[in-house]
Amino acid sequence: MKEILYAIAVLGAMGAIFGAVLALASRLFAVKTDERLPLLLDALPGANCGGCGFAGCAAYAQAVIDGKAAVGLCAVGGAESANKMAAIMGVEANAMQRSVAMVKCRGRHHLSKGNYEGIDDCMSAMFVAGDGPSACGSGCLGFGNCMKVCMFGAISLVDGIARIDADKCTGCLQCVSACPRHVIVEVSQDADIVVACSNHDRGAELRSICDLGCVGCHLCEQQCEFDAIHVVKSLATIDYSKCVSCGRCAAVCPRGIIADSNLRRDMDVAPSIAR
C-alpha cells in the first residue's frame, strides 16, 4: 500500500514540475500575435480563394499588418471588407473598382480537327494534335479547367464553351490563371461593351475555322465617334478609358462578336451586315 501511495506522490510531483516548466516555456517562447489580426480576419469573407495574391485570408491579413500588402485587395469582400480593414488599420480605404472575368470566345461553331478522347482537361488537350482538338488555336477548349477552380459557381459550360455569370463572379480571377489559352480576361464590372474573341487570324483564315470570330472588318472602328475601338492584328480591341458604352460598335458588328450588356439597338447606326 505504501509503495502505491509513494508512486502516486512521485507521479503527482513530476506532473506538477513538468506543468510548471511547460507554462514557463509557453511564456518565454510565445509568439506574440498582433491584436489586429483577428479583427482583420473578421473583416474578410474567409473564402481563401487566393484572388488577393496570397495563400489565404490569414496570410493576406498578416501581410497587411506587416506593411507588405495594401488594404482593399480582397475582391470577394469588396468595398465592405476594404472599409472595415481600413478602419482597423487606421488608414483611408481607396475606392475599389470591381472586376469580373470574361470569356473572350463564343466559338461553339469552331471546326474540330477530330474527336478527342483523352483526359478531360484543357491543358492535357493542348498537347494533343498540335495545340488541341479545335481548329482555332485561340479559342476556348471547353474542358472546364476554369469551372473546376471557381469556388462561387459562376462558370458553366454551354455548348462546350465556358460562360461566366457576372452576377455570381466575385472577381477572384482564379479562372484567369487556370485557362491555359488565356481566353479568360479581367474586365471592369462596368464594362458594358466587350469583344468576345481572341483570334488574331486574318478574315479569310478565321472564316474557315469559326463562323463567329472577329474578321477585322473595321466597321466597329469606323462607327465609333470616341476613338475607343481599333482593329489590332485583325482583332477588335476596346480602349475602356475612351469607351462610353454607346453600343454603336456592337450594333454594326456583322459577326455579333461585340456584345453590349445594355442591348442598345435603337440608335442611329449603320445597318448590320448579314452574317
Smallest Cα–Cα separation from 126: which of 115, 111, 137, 117? 137
What is the predicted pLDDT for the residue at 28?
64
* 232-267: pLDDT as tens digits: 999 999 999 999 999 999 999 998 889 887 654 443
* In the block, residue with C-alpha cell 453600343: 247
pLDDT in tens, 62-109: 999 999 999 988 988 888 999 999 999 999 887 777 788 999 998 766
Q: pLDDT tens digits for 201-241?
A: 998 898 888 888 899 999 999 999 999 999 999 999 999 99
What pTM does this model have? 0.74
CATH numbers and ranges of domains, the chain: 36-89 (1.10.15.40), 97-188 (3.30.70.20), 191-275 (3.30.70.20)
d(CA 171, CA 164): 11
Predicted pLDDT at 197:
93
* CA 265/CA 262 separation, integer angstroms: 9
Give the dihedral sign, CA 42/46/48/53.
Answer: negative
Q: Which of 144, 138, 234 is nearest to 183 (CA)?
A: 138
Whole-Å CA distances, 225 to 40, 244, 267, 269? 47, 10, 13, 11
At 30, the pLDDT band (50, 70, 90 cuts) reads low
CA torsion through residues 165, 106, 172, 241, sign? negative
CA dist., res. 255 & res. 275, Å (int): 6
